């Protein structure tokens, strides 16, 4: 059994060694020539998996160690009879903690007490639910928007306009380009213009959910929003002008806790074992991390803001990416990918209720 895997999937060799011969590759430069003798393909979000990659290959199982599947042509896989698995929810705690750390950083920078502040949570999936739980633990009031769930009868959901009126707006929707509820440029020029002065806007969903040109225009002309971006249009070749205008700008690492990534590896490993009819012999409990966890109990206590940042220093991630702004004629795309590949160990600091 020949297994081709993105080199950035942690512990992939250890996990899949019992199933076959594992070859690791650069996921962004993976091409059809790499697949000519592969039986199994393991990817992350930087690899587009479609007919162009797999049509002439013997691949019969594909797995993505990610929650999102926008990079996967699911229709093609179905038509070609190729089985697929991914890791929904694997990085949800990590992404929610990124949002909490961003909020705490903003609050300390502006001497803001969090209890009583309103948070518009757009998207109530695996990440959005955890953001709400954690914000409410901090004493904040959440206004949640999710039209597909509202259609299913989920109670307590509000309009997008209501969510965008909040002190903080954080985006947690998948990238949907068609259908009744598309999210492509959900935050368009009109909605960006409608944000109240002083709003903190966080995007840790997908870059294309925000009309970046309109956001850049707002922050450069009015300079009255605080913006935190972990995802960008045209990754990895992000716009340095937009990066310059962020309170925090990071290299698509919101979900990059060591715990979350290992969880994702375990989920696709178990799915592959099931596909092959093999018993799993590896698990996340076999992994020894090189950094201990710092646990934080979230509460309305003002001291918690600093405790969160002591557990996860989000500003350091932003400083790393913004360092590229000081380098003349720098290759931003290469540096963006370098930061993702060489991301330091970051442990989760909260647990689900």
Contacts of 234 (CB under 8 A, 6+ apart): 207
User: Is 315 marked active-site?
Assistant: no
Is residue 104 a contact partner of residue 81, using CB atoms and an 8 Å limit? no
Strand ranges, E, within 200-309: 200-203, 226-229, 248-249
Q: Where are the alpha helices (DSSP H) in 110-137?
A: 126-137
Q: Which candidate in 86, 134, 252, 346 is catalytic?
A: 252
Residue 121: φ, ψ to 5°: -105, 110
Structure tokens at 6: 């993105």
Q: Is 235 a catalytic residue?
A: yes
Do 284 and 262 touch, CB atoms closer than 8 A?
A: yes
3-state helix, strand, coil in the chain (%, to 5): 40, 15, 45
Q: Are 167 and 198 in contact (CB under 8 A)?
A: yes
Residue 177: what are its φ and ψ, rounded to 5°?
-100, -10
User: Exposure string (b/e) for 91-124, b if CB count within 10 Å is 16 or more?
Assistant: bbbbbbbbbbbbbbbbbeeeebebeebbbbbbbb
CA 236 to chain centre: 14
Q: How many CB atoms lie within 10 A of CB 273?
A: 18
The helix/strand/coil state of 188 is coil
In whole angstroms, what is the distance from residue 70 CA to residue 67 CA? Answer: 10
Q: Give the Cβ contact number of residue 66 at 10 Å.
A: 25
CA 99 – CA 131 distance, rounded (Å): 7
3-state SS class at 168? strand
Among 49, 57, 59, 51, CA closest to 20: 59
Q: Is 320 a catalytic residue?
A: no
Catalytic residue among 97, 233, 235, 266: 235
Q: Can you tell me which residue has the tokens 């309305």?
A: 300
Positions marked active-site: 206, 235, 252
């Amino acid at each position: 059994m020949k297994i081709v895997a993105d080199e950035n999937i942690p512990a992939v060799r250890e996990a899949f060694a019992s199933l076959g011969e594992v070859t690791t590759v650069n996921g962004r430069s993976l091409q059809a020539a790499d697949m000519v003798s592969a039986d199994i393909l393991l990817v992350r979000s930087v690899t587009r998996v479609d007919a162009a990659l797999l049509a002439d290959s013997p691949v019969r199982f594909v797995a993505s160690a990610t929650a999102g599947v926008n990079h996967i042509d699911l229709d093609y896989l179905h038509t070609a009879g190729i089985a697929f698995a991914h890791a929904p929810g694997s990085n949800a705690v990590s992404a929610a903690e990124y949002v909490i750390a961003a909020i705490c950083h903003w609050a300390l920078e502006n001497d803001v007490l969090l209890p009583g502040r309103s948070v518009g949570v757009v998207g109530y999936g695996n990440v959005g639910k955890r953001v709400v739980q954690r914000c409410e633990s901090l004493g904040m009031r959440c206004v949640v928007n999710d039209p597909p769930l509202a259609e299913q009868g989920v109670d307590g959901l509000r309009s997008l306009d209501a969510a965008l009126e909040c002190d903080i707006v954080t985006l947690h929707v998948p990238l949907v380009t068609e259908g009744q509820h598309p999210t492509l440029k959900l935050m368009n020029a009109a909605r960006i213009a409608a944000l109240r002065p002083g709003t903190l806007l966080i995007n840790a969903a997908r870059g294309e959910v925000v009309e970046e040109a309109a956001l850049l225009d707002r922050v450069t002309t009015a300079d009255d929003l605080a913006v935190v971006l972990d995802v960008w249009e045209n990754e990895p070749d992000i716009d340095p002008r937009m990066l310059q205008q962020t309170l925090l700008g990071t290299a698509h690492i919101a979900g990059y806790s060591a715990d979350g990534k290992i969880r994702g590896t375990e989920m696709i490993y178990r799915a592959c074992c099931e596909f092959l009819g093999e018993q799993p012999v590896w698990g996340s409990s076999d992994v020894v991390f090189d950094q201990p966890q710092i646990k934080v109990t979230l509460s309305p206590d003002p001291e918690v803001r600093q405790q969160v940042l002591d557990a996860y220093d989000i500003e350091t991630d932003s400083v790393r990416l913004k360092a590229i702004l000081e380098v003349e004629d720098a290759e931003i795309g290469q540096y963006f990918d370098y930061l993702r590949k060489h991301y330091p160990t970051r442990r989760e600091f909260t647990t689900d209720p």
